[in-house]
Copies of this chain bind each other. A is one copy, B any other.
Amino acid sequence: MQFFSQQTISELNKHYRTHLINSLSGFKSANLIGSQDQQGQTNLAIVSSVFHLGAHPPLVGMIMRPHSVPRHTFENILATQCYTINQVNSDIYQQAHQTSARYEKNESEFAATGLTVEYLNDFGAPFVAQSRLKYAVKLVEHQHLAVNNTELVIGEITDLYVAGAALQDDGFIDLTRIGTVAVSGLDSYHLTTQIARLPYAKK
């Protein structure tokens, strides 16, 4: 085993440390956040920090860094109180990654990357047509995390769209059937193979 003490970590160069620390949490979800401002200017941002918060009510959380790239997304969410979450699959992971470039506010990442805007059921934020699992989210609350100047954004899942082949009889969605990717570190994209589903654990 290789050992890094707190002291060693603090002395690493910035890029090495960014790669290292980003690898520690394990595999991350890959999602595109669709949003628009009140004039209808669309925005799309890849986020690897979307996490399940609860099923009753159906809630989803994510961490935003408003002082770095996805600031337009956060501003749009505050302005319109809604956004979409679109899972990234292996057919679009390169375009999804490209949304992290520093586009201006008046440039849509949809147009810049070749992903297609889709409006569904009059929801006030754009979906990604190429995504096979996507849902509409209404902002519930956001909390500033003073510890490192990030924002925890919590939303309620409303409309859900999923490619039918992935949906199992018990409600589980087989993400391997729709090519959903996982992220590790800052920039590594992965397909997965299922080892097993395990039964509810009992003593």
| A105 within 8 Å of B (CB atoms) | no
Q: How many copies does the complex hold?
A: 2
Quick check: B135 and A140 within 8 Å, CB to CB?
Answer: no
Main DSSP-derived SS at the A contact region: mixed
Quick check: A99 and B201 within 8 Å, CB to CB?
Answer: yes
Quick check: A1 and B150 within 8 Å, CB to CB?
Answer: no
Distance A164 CA – B2 CA, assembled complex (angstroms): 5
Quick check: A171 and B24 within 8 Å, CB to CB?
Answer: no
Which of chain B's residues has its CB closest to A46's CB? B201
Q: Give the chain B neighbours of A192 by CB distance below 8 A.
A: 27, 182, 184, 190-193
Quick check: B61 and A53 within 8 Å, CB to CB?
Answer: no
Q: Give the chain B neighbours of A90 by CB distance below 8 A.
A: 195
Distance A184 CA – B17 CA, assembled complex (angstroms): 28
| A117 within 8 Å of B (CB atoms) | no
Quick check: B158 and A6 within 8 Å, CB to CB?
Answer: yes
| A33 within 8 Å of B (CB atoms) | no
| A141 within 8 Å of B (CB atoms) | yes
